[in-house]
């Protein structure tokens, strides 16, 4: 189970789009907690996902118009938002990471 935190502007449909990214993949939503956070809102999701889905979900969430920030406790989740390709990372390393 991985925990995701998504910071978003609470505009019409934004939370629904965030949840839809999970539900369209037939993922159960055992934990959803949405609340105000500073000037905006944050939703915390716990999802049973595989490594491939972590990257897909994070990228899809970040593509939603009013999502500000996506973070995760997943060990391999940070790479989705790094510059592409990571400067100075040998291609073999990048390739190995992509195939992992």
C-beta of 73: minimal distance to other proteins in Å?
17
Contacting other proteins (CB under 8 A), which of 25, 30, 63, 73?
63
Cβ 18 to other proteins, closest distance in Å? 11
Per rule CB under 8 A, is residue 37 in the interface with other proteins?
no
Q: What are phi and psi of 58, to 5 degrees?
A: -60, -45
Q: 14-23 and 51-62 helices cross at what angle (nearest 10)?
A: 160
Measured CA to CA, the distance from residue 73 to residue 31 in angstroms comes to 15
At residue 66, the 3 state secondary structure works out as coil
Answer left, alpha or beta for residue 38, where phi above 0 means left and psi between -120 and 50 means alpha: left
Kindly state whether residue 39 participates in binding other proteins, applying the rule CB under 8 A. Answer: no
The distance of closest approach from Cβ of residue 53 to other proteins in the complex, given in angstroms and rounded to an integer, is: 10
Binding residues for other proteins, per CB under 8 A?
9, 12-13, 16-17, 20, 24, 52, 55-56, 59-60, 62-63, 65-66, 68-69, 80-88, 91, 94-95, 98-99
């Amino acid at each position: 189970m991985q925990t995701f935190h998504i910071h978003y502007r609470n505009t019409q449909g934004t939370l629904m789009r965030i949840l839809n990214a999970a539900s369209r993949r037939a993922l159960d939503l055992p934990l959803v907690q949405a609340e105000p956070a500073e000037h905006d809102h944050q939703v915390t999701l716990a999802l049973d996902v595989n490594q491939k889905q972590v990257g897909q979900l994070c990228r899809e969430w970040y593509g939603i118009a009013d999502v500000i920030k996506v973070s995760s406790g997943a060990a391999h989740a940070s790479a989705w938002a790094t510059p592409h390709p990571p400067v100075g990372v040998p291609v073999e390393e990048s390739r190995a990471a992509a195939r992992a």
